[in-house]
Structure 1
Amino acid sequence: MKITRIERIGKKKDKYLIYIDGERSFSIREEDYFKLNLYEKKEVTQEELELIRNDILYNSARSAAIRYVSLMLRCESEVRNKLKTDGYEQSTIDKVIEDLKSLGYINDKLYAQKYVYDRMKLKPKSKRLLRFELQKRGISTEDIEEVLSDFKMNEQDIIESLIKRKFGKYDLNDPKIYKRAFSFLVYRGFNTELINEVLNKMK
């Protein structure tokens, strides 16, 4: 096997994309690239390629993932997307994810708990919208339902609190104000019948 092409990649151009026998093979950090003395037309054995993939690239991906989750709590899908964007192979990503999950660096249930807590504290939303947002982040249905059931969320109380906070100084009898409040609450994912019920009660 022979290295037939090398491209510099990454925002800082600090990684190299290696092609072997005309096909994209792997990407590698600059320091590892020079350490392994890679260059075009260099012959590479199958054993050397396996070493690169199973050792060098794995350690590089693992370090990148740990740095990423150290900045803030991340869910599995965020870490996967980060490593994919960095150019790592799927098999390497899978191994790193399993490693980090076993060490507690990745915990989707804990992520979901913090996500719901932060949203309810800063920007209260309906369970329906929170469920949708967590699903978009790849959180399992089981974890989502368990987390949401743990939170005591009376949506009528939440709607009343939001109306007082956002529209307390306005007259809800004014059709324009009523419409603005209604649209605001629909955007937060609340049921339209419940919204009307609470708005009419607070007029």
Structure 2
Amino acid sequence: MIITSVQKDTKNRGMLSVFIDEEYAFSIPEEDYLRLCLYDKKELSSDEIEEIKKNVTQKSAKYKAIKYLSYKYVTEAVLSEKLRKDGYDEDVIFSVVTELKSMGYINDMIYAQKYVYDRMKLKPKSKKMLRMELIQKGVSGEIANQVLEELDFDEDVVIERLIRKKFGKYDMKEPKIERKIYSFLQHKGFSFEDIRRVLRTITDSD
């Protein structure tokens, strides 16, 4: 197997694409390419190629993944996409992600629980909206459902708290204010019926 060309990846700085027999074979960080003196080699055996792909490249991908996680705790899907954009092959990504999961660096259940807790503390939203956001973050529907089912969460109480906090000083019976209340809460994923029921309770009691 002859190395026919080595090209710099214009999209992923520091990565090189190695072509063997005119076909793409693997990607490797430039520093490892130099460390292994691949520039002096014309040929690579199948075993050497596998060694590079499984060990050298995986080591680099793992380092980048841990460094990224040190800045921001993310889901398995988001981390995989991050490594994909860095130019790593799918088999390397799968291996690294699997190892990091076993080490506890990635845990979508814990991520979902923390995300929901932070949201409810800082920016309360409906369960429907929270589920949508979790899915967008790469959390599976099964995990999202489980976390939200276990959440001690009364939407009516949240709706009332949000209404009183933002519109407590206004006359909520005024059509203009009422429209703003509906718009504000529907944007957070609460249903029209739930908003109307809670708003009626507030205005009737006041």
Q: Same fold (TM over 0.5)?
A: yes
Name the structure 2 match of 1:189.
189
Residue deviations 1:29-87 (CA, integer Å, cap 9, x gap): 12102112234993222122111101101111111111111223221111111111111
Q: Distance in 2 between matches of 1:24 and 1:180?
A: 57
TM score, norm. by length of structure 1: 0.91
Give the total of aligned pairs. Answer: 203
* Paired position in structure 1 for 2:140: 140
The answer (yes or no) to whether the contact 2:74–2:106 under 8 Å persists in 1 is yes
Cα deviation, 1:101-147, whole Å, max 9, x if unaligned, reads 11111111000000000110111010111111112223233322221
User: TM-score, normalised to structure 2's length?
Assistant: 0.90
> What is the match of residue 38 of structure 2?
38
Structure 1: gaps (5+ residues):
none
Secondary structure, aligned partner of 2:138: coil
Contact kept in structure 1, 2:100 and 2:106, CA below 8 Å: yes
Amino acid at match of 1:192: F
Matched, 1:170 2:170: yes
Aligned residues with identical type, % of pairs: 46
Residues 57-68 of structure 1 correspond to what in structure 2 (within 5 A)?
A: 57-68=57-68
Is residue 129 from structure 1 mapped to residue 126 from structure 2 by the alignment?
no
For structure 2, which runs of at least 5 residues remain unmatched after alignment? none
Q: Name the CA shift for 1:180/1:10 in 2 (closer, same or farther; >3 Å).
A: farther
1:91–1:55 distance in 2 versus 1, CA, 3 Å? same
Residue 100 of structure 1 corresponds to 100
Equivalence map 1:43-62=2 (5 Å): 43-62=43-62
Amino acid at match of 2:134: L
For the aligned residue pairs, the C-alpha RMSD in angstroms reads: 2.0
Task: Give the distance between the partners of 1:134 and 1:50, measured in 2 at CA.
Answer: 37
SS of the residue 1:202 aligns to: helix
Partners of 2:195 and 2:26 in 1: how far apart? 54
SS in 1 for 2:38: coil
Query: Is the 8 Å Cα contact of residues 26 and 87 (structure 1) preserved in structure 2?
Result: no
Q: Which residue of 2 aligns with 1:86?
A: 86
Bigger shift: 18-27 or 172-181? 18-27
2:149 is aligned with what amino acid? S
